[in-house]
Amino acid sequence: MSTTTLAAHLSQPTIPPRLAELIGAVAKGCVEISAQVRRGAAGQIMGALGSENVQGEVQQKLDVLSNDILLALCAKAEGLSAMASEEMETIHPVRDVAPQGGYLLLFDPLDGSSNIAVNVSIGTIFSILPTPADSAGRAVAEADFLQPGRNQVAAGYVVYGPQTQMVLTLGDGVCAFTLDPDCDDWVLTNPAMTIPAETKEFAINTANARHWAAPVSRYVEECLAGVEGPRGKDFNMRWVASMVADVHRVMSRGGVFMYPWDKREPNRPGKLRLMYEANPMALLVEQAGGASFDGAGDTLDAPVTSLHQRASVMMGSKAEIARLRDYHAV
């Protein structure tokens, strides 16, 4: 049984201490969020607030509580310049002047919160970018956040499921930690998560099938045709409707997760947000040997024009994403 903890893992000399401190603060916040999520209806934290977030989505009490927990704990991290969240319209500076070599933290504090009421796994997603060098001596601006996903220095998620697990990359592979509820410590349970290149599983909301673009329809129809079809094998379909849960399954055993563009809102690239959902997940997937594609190119190379911009998302087993890329090139 591994006795390596997250704190021990982050104390490696190759990890900048202020980055380690920031990730430690996120992890501490997620321990508190996990406790609140577990309380459910036994606590006073269930239900909607009656307000909407910047996305126009109804805010659950737990959405705002989770956001506040991360703001309070991460603001103490010395290297942090500013934060951005799905739940906040504008950035949240934590210092008047950005610390030299500091970091920007972005997060979706509780993704999939519509699943809270039905006791289905939900999660926290986070992304860490470098504060731009030209921000020295001044306050951080929203424009400083508008960096491509490939600039991330770290990314991770915490899935609040039967176990609470954190999956983390600092750009040199992916490792997973499991929260030991007896001591509230994160124990290293997978030092090298890798996604199999091949799979028999795909995840997409097939209720939207009539709205998909042709390459996505072709890919899914071929999966559904099974062993008698062009793929020559049967597939399973999964859809939890909680990105963290669906992507965690892909990270754990392979598969493809898709929330692509569809013609319901032709001017919108997709439902999911680039900066604090698609990009952190894409970095994790790539670091685990998979790939992430947005219909035009790698997710991590997508041009960034606004903090809450959305993205078309297709990520997972490398061979499957290569096939989707080919279908989009036809």
Residue numbers at the binding site for ligand P6P (CB under 6 A): 111-112, 114, 205, 241-243, 246, 259, 271-272
Q: Does residue 111 contact residue 124 with C-beta atoms inside 8 Å?
A: yes
Residue nearest to ligand P6P (CB): 243
Is 91 strand, coil or helix?
coil
**66 versus 135: smaller Cβ distance to ligand P6P:** 66
**103 versus 107: smaller Cβ distance to ligand P6P:** 107
> For the chain, what's the residue count?
330
Q: Does residue 256 contact residue 203 with C-beta atoms inside 8 Å?
A: yes
**271 versus 328: smaller Cβ distance to ligand P6P:** 271
Cα dist from 272 to 169, 203, 205, 233, 319, whole Å: 21, 14, 13, 30, 23
CA distance 178 to 183: 11
**114 versus 147: smaller Cβ distance to ligand P6P:** 114
**Minimum CB–partner distance for residue 212 and ligand P6P (Å):** 13
Measured CA angle at 15 (ends 97, 133), to 5 deg: 30
| Residue 272, token pair as written in the block | 């999911």
**140 versus 195: smaller Cβ distance to ligand P6P:** 195
**Minimum CB–partner distance for residue 205 and ligand P6P (Å):** 4
The residues near 316 (Cβ < 8 Å, ≥ 6 apart) are 195, 199, 250, 254, 255, 256, 257, 285, 290, 291, 292
**Minimum CB–partner distance for residue 83 and ligand P6P (Å):** 20
- Of the candidates 87, 72, 155, 157, which has an alpha carbon nearest to the alpha carbon of residue 123? 157
The string over 280-308, giving b where at least 16 C-beta atoms fall within 10 Å of a residue's C-beta and e elsewhere, is: bbbbbbbbbbbbbbbbeebbbebebeebb
**246 versus 320: smaller Cβ distance to ligand P6P:** 246
* 48-52 and 122-130 beta bridge pairing: unpaired
**Minimum CB–partner distance for residue 259 and ligand P6P (Å):** 6
> 145 phi and psi, to 5 degrees?
-80, -20
**Minimum CB–partner distance for residue 254 and ligand P6P (Å):** 18
**99 versus 149: smaller Cβ distance to ligand P6P:** 149
| Residue 227, token pair as written in the block | 């062993």
**Minimum CB–partner distance for residue 41 and ligand P6P (Å):** 20
**Minimum CB–partner distance for residue 86 and ligand P6P (Å):** 9
**Minimum CB–partner distance for residue 282 and ligand P6P (Å):** 14
**Minimum CB–partner distance for residue 81 and ligand P6P (Å):** 27
Q: Does residue 256 contact residue 321 with C-beta atoms inside 8 Å?
A: yes
Is 177 strand, coil or helix?
strand
**242 versus 279: smaller Cβ distance to ligand P6P:** 242
**60 versus 169: smaller Cβ distance to ligand P6P:** 60
